[in-house]
Amino acid sequence: MKLEELIDSNFRGNIYILQDDKVICESVTGFADLANEVPNDIDTKFASASAGKVFVAVGILQLIDQGRVKLDDTLGELLDMDLHNIDKEVTVEQLLNHTSGVPDYFDESVMEEYEELWVDYPNYKIRHNKDLFPLFLHKPMMYEKGSRFQYNNSGYVLLAAIIEKVTGLHFDKYLKRNVFDPCGMQSTGYYELDRLPRKCANSYIYCPETEDYRTNIYSVDAKGTGAGGAFITVKDIVSFWQNLLSGKLISKELVSAMMSKQSGDGSDPEEGYYGFGMWIIDNPKGTDFAYFQGCDPGVSFLSEYNPDKNVISVLVSNYGDNVWKEMRKIREYLYK
């Protein structure tokens, strides 16, 4: 059986898998523009939601490599701004591994839909990292810093703010210059939804009441931030993995730290633990798997690296289709 035959016939998006640097699966389905029936192709740019946290983590770790930032540096030391009730002693490491306790503007433990954010604060206002500050800076800490793990979007907004403060560049410009361009990721970037470049897929949300689809332009940030929102291609993500693993982006020591268990308890074995910017799945029979993922209205993304099998998998849908279900099949087929 070929890998392509495992994929649900209703899946819409791109799946791209390499083993030992050889492409073993390339599946391209669905429409980038549904109304005009423009199909996705292998070079289509897709929104990737929270997957962009991995790029911010690499940006911070580069600054650590350069000695411009340290893991134990604090928000109070690094950011010259009013943090309100946020503990100024929260460290870079706690932001990276989601143990900071800073107020999360989208607390997934109490909010079900990302669209809820824009009831009182229009999403078109979100075009720079700092535009998210009003959504969380005035709120109290969620828990004492360092006391536990809880996935936190605001933490990565603050990490992007640190990149901007230390380098003097907007975080997305820094990432283009220091992550995307060195990796040859020419199609990856943070684009405004009302100024999308060519070959970007619209992201679609199904509406049961009308039995049709609408785009997500009123459902997510107008432009991505430190919390996520990069547009990617599946080939660019493979290039990112290859350059990261080779030590081109950050030192091998920091690559190892990034892909090691830093926080979480592994209570959900499929979700696993957290490293820096990516999730870690415990592998009792060998080296742990590392992955990063994203989910927004109309967006689903997952990319995983299995060191023992030397497999890189990239799955993305612009209809929010279940990439996690497809990845389970791929693991079952390839990881035996």
* Alpha-carbon gap, residue 238 to 233, rounded angstroms: 9
Instruction: Please write the tens of the pLDDT for every residue from 248-274.
Output: 999 999 999 999 999 999 999 999 999
Joined together, the tokens standing for residue 160 give 């992007």
Looking at residue 233, its pLDDT comes to 98
Please report, rounded to a whole number, the percentage of residues in the chain having pLDDT higher than 90: 93
Q: Nearest 5°: phi and psi at 289? A: -85, 150
- Torsion-angle region of residue 164: left (phi > 0), alpha (psi -120 to 50) or beta? alpha
Name the residue type at position 130: K
- Cα separation of 299 and 319, whole Å? 6
Residue 254 tokens read as 């920091």
Residue 106: pLDDT over 90? no
Distance between CA 58 and CA 277 in Å, rounded? 8
Q: How far is CA 139 from CA 111, 134, 208, in A?
A: 15, 9, 35
Query: What confidence score (pLDDT) does residue 245 get?
Result: 98
Rounded distance between C-alpha atoms, residue 180 and residue 303, angstroms = 17
Which fold, 3-334? Beta-lactamase (3.40.710)
Report the phi/psi class of residue 266: left, alpha or beta, with left for phi > 0 and alpha for psi in -120 to 50. left
CA–chain centroid gap for 295, Å, is: 9
* Interval 146-180: pLDDT, tens: 999 999 999 999 999 999 999 999 999 999 999 99
Q: What is the token pair recorded at 334?
A: 């390839």
Q: How far apart are CA 259 and CA 275, in angstroms?
A: 5
pLDDT at position 112 is: 72
Mean pLDDT over residues 302-328, rounded? 98
| SS3 per residue for 237-273 | HHHHHHHHHCCCCCCHHHHHHHCCCCECCCCCCCCCE
pTM score, whole prediction: 0.96
User: Domain coordinates of the chain in residue numbers?
Assistant: 3-334
Task: Please report, rounded to a whole number, the percentage of residues in the chain having pLDDT higher than 70.
Answer: 99
Closest by Cα among 203, 174, 198 to 47? 203
